[in-house]
C-alpha cells in the first residue's frame, strides 16, 4: 500500500490512500496457523521457522488470554 501511489502515478493523475487499520484478536492458535498454512511453501524456501508460530501464539494466549495481530488494509482512490 505504501508503494501503490508511486506505481499508480504512471497511469493516474491523482492517487489517495485511505488506510483501514485494524486488530484481529484470537483466543486459540488455530485461526493463525490456518492462515499461515498458505505461506508454508514460501516459509520453507526462506528457512522461516513456520512450526514455531503455533508455540509463539499459544504462549501469548497463555500469558494474556488472547493474541492480537495488527493489520493495515486500505482503499486506493485513483483519478485520471
| Whole-number Å distance between alpha carbons of 16 and 75 | 8
Residues linked to residue 15 through DSSP beta bridges, in sequence order: 78
Does the pTM of the predicted model rise above 0.85?
A: no
The pLDDT value recorded for residue 64 is 95
- Each residue's pLDDT tens digit, 34-62: 888 887 777 777 776 767 888 999 999 99
| Whole-number Å distance between alpha carbons of 37 and 2 | 26
Give residue 19's pLDDT band: very low, low, confident or very high (50, 70, 90): very high
| Mean pLDDT score of the chain | 86
Full DSSP string of 4-51: HHHHHTTT-SEEEEEEEEEEEEESSSHHHHHHHGGGHHHHHHTT--TT
Amino acid at each position: 500500500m505504501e508503494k501503490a501511489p508511486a506505481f499508480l502515478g504512471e497511469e493516474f493523475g491523482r492517487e489517495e490512500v485511505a488506510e483501514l487499520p485494524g486488530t484481529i484478536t484470537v483466543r486459540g492458535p488455530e485461526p493463525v496457523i490456518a492462515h499461515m498454512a498458505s505461506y508454508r511453501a514460501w516459509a520453507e524456501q526462506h528457512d522461516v521457522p513456520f512450526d514455531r508460530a503455533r508455540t509463539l501464539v499459544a504462549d501469548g494466549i497463555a500469558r494474556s488470554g488472547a493474541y492480537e495481530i495488527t493489520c493495515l488494509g486500505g482503499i486506493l482512490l485513483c483519478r485520471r
